Amino acid sequence: MVHNKMHSSPKALLVSYTFPPTGGAGIHRVLKLAKYLPAHGMSPTVLTAQNPSVPLRDESLLRDIPPDMPLLRARTLEPGYAVKAQTWKTSSDKGGAWQTRVLQRAMSGARQLLLPDPQILWQPGAQLALARRLAGADRPDVVFITAPPFSQFLLAPLIRLARGTALVLDYRDEWSTLRQRYEMVAGDLPRIVGDVLENRLLRLAHAVTTATEAFRQNLLARFPFLQPERVFAIPNGYDRDDLPASLPVPSGDRLTVTYAGTIFRLTSPAGLLGAVRRLNTVSPALGRLLRLRFLGRIVETELPGFAGTEALGVEQVGYLPHDAMMKEVAASHLLLCLLDETPGAESIYPAKIFELMALGRPCLTLAPEGALAELVRATRLGDLLPPRDEVRIAEYLARLLTDFREGRLPAQAPPVGIERYDRKALAGEFAEVFRRAIAWARA
């Protein structure tokens, strides 16, 4: 009887704090999984936050949600994103009246209590919604939790109470890296609590998926109790439905170089912007031929690096809906992928890299040695330079602009082996992992 149920249409509950109409980073992995799982014989349902505290919305992503897919939305107790942003700004202000200093200490203490991350305030609503789903007639065969935020992994004990329901934990990023470098909570407490939680929660998973092979290897090295045959590296990818039918002709008056995605510490363009300044100092005539566009949100900590660059052809376009962003990226002479020299970056590649592959435009990647550099070389995606080497980047831009001035456009052979990253095919890999996890849960 179990065998027949597994081969009819297993039910998969996908848990993601963010989901359309929320936009921005991390959305597409679970969205495309929900879109394509039915093609692989699985019935998805999504559990997400009803009122997520996020900076971006993108209504264009709603078209990818299967019209008949159940969508469960549970409220979070978090304040709105504008309130959080103001809190961060206040806590970073220097000096001020004694009332401000007292408020800063109070906010710092409050952040210390929100462990492992502020999204833990979604847990009451998420736990209740999950409990109802597990107790109902539509009880899932497998629950897939994608993170960050990693507080979502706290749903794992409840899932394990439902005998026969499989649990799959998904790492879009490394929890350890976020704890050490990128979370906004200072001090040792987040690291200590996070280390203990990660160890305990991983023991509850029937299977684990990671976005890179480097993440997988790091998990196996850090947690020897994990069985290698139950930890799977399934990358992000591209959706052919998102690609324009044909590539538009870029504007001919200047060389258009485009970056799409969030600019934050991990994707800092400091080296690139320094190279643009250097180029304009050495050869202002060539510099005037450059149009460098940034499509996406730029966090406040990175904005000072852009000061004065508007006069050098640098444009801060801001966030665009995904469909509009793809059209703008396609209408470029050269695409840009950024990964700064930051501890932990050697295991990472930005999810946007796969859409850049699929577009087929020439691409420049600024990244340190590591997973991203290896991926660029393996797929022959394009040129690769160290992200902080201003001299080499400036020389590279000067050569491109000289060719452009003489009527020669950047050219590149199509990348190789990118079929591996088709979102529909990747959903099939997830479906196979889910089926294995269900079998392990019922064994």
* Residues 46 and 75 placed together within one structural domain of the fold: yes
For the chain, what is the domain count?
2
What pLDDT shows up at residue 112? 59
DSSP string, 321-377: -HHHHHHHHHT-SEEEEE--S-TTGGG---TTHHHHHHH---EEEE--TTHHHHHHH
Domain with residue 396: its CATH number is: 3.40.50.2000
Q: Which letter does DSSP use for residue 307 in this model? A: T
Q: Which letter does DSSP use for residue 26 in this model? A: T
* Residues 185 and 256 placed together within one structural domain of the fold: no
Contacts of 192 (CB under 8 A, 6+ apart): none
In a domain, 46, yes or no: yes
Q: Which letter does DSSP use for residue 143 in this model? A: E
Question: Which structural domain range is residue 279 located in?
Answer: 247-419
Distance CA 51, CA 86 (A): 18
In a domain, 125, yes or no: yes
Cα–Cα separations (whole angstroms), residue 22 to 55, 56, 322, 350? 8, 6, 11, 19
* Residues 387 and 286 placed together within one structural domain of the fold: yes
In a domain, 17, yes or no: yes
Cis link prior to 148 (omega < 30° from 0)? yes
Contacts of 150 (CB under 8 A, 6+ apart): 116, 117, 175, 178, 194, 197, 198
Q: Where are the alpha helices (DSSP H) in 210-269?
A: 213-222
* Residues 316 and 353 placed together within one structural domain of the fold: yes
**In degrees rounded to 5, what are phi and psi of residue 114?**
-90, 75
* Residues 438 and 369 placed together within one structural domain of the fold: no
Q: What is the mean pLDDT of each run of 10 residues along the chain (443 residues)?
A: 55 98 92 98 98 92 96 94 62 53 50 80 97 96 97 97 97 82 54 87 98 95 97 97 90 93 94 98 97 95 96 97 94 97 89 94 96 96 97 98 94 91 98 98 94
In a domain, 434, yes or no: yes
How many Cβ atoms are within 10 Å of 263's Cβ, its own excluded?
22
In a domain, 130, yes or no: yes
* Residues 167 and 289 placed together within one structural domain of the fold: no
Distance CA 255, CA 20 (A): 34
* Residues 221 and 300 placed together within one structural domain of the fold: no
Distance CA 50, CA 122 (A): 10
* Residues 51 and 166 placed together within one structural domain of the fold: yes
Q: Which residues of 309-328 are buried (b: 16+ CB within 10 A; e: fewer)?
A: beebbbeeeebbebeebbeb
- Both tokens of residue 440? 């392990």
Angle at 38 between CA 34 and CA 42, to 5 degrees: 95
Are residues 373 and 401 in contact, defined by beta-carbon separation less than 8 angstroms? no
What pLDDT shows up at residue 182? 47
* Residues 364 and 412 placed together within one structural domain of the fold: yes
* Residues 151 and 270 placed together within one structural domain of the fold: no
Q: How far is CA 67 from the centre of its chain?
A: 25
User: What phi-psi label fits residue 438: left (phi over 0), alpha (psi between -120 and 50 degrees) or beta?
Assistant: alpha
Are residues 18 and 49 in contact, defined by beta-carbon separation less than 8 angstroms? yes
In a domain, 273, yes or no: yes
How many Cβ atoms are within 10 Å of 410's Cβ, its own excluded?
20
Contacts of 289 (CB under 8 A, 6+ apart): 254, 255, 401, 404, 405
Angle at 191 between CA 186 and CA 196, to 5 degrees: 150
* Residues 220 and 266 placed together within one structural domain of the fold: no
Cis link prior to 149 (omega < 30° from 0)? yes
* Residues 166 and 260 placed together within one structural domain of the fold: no
In a domain, 360, yes or no: yes
Are residues 117 and 183 in contact, defined by beta-carbon separation less than 8 angstroms? yes
In a domain, 108, yes or no: no
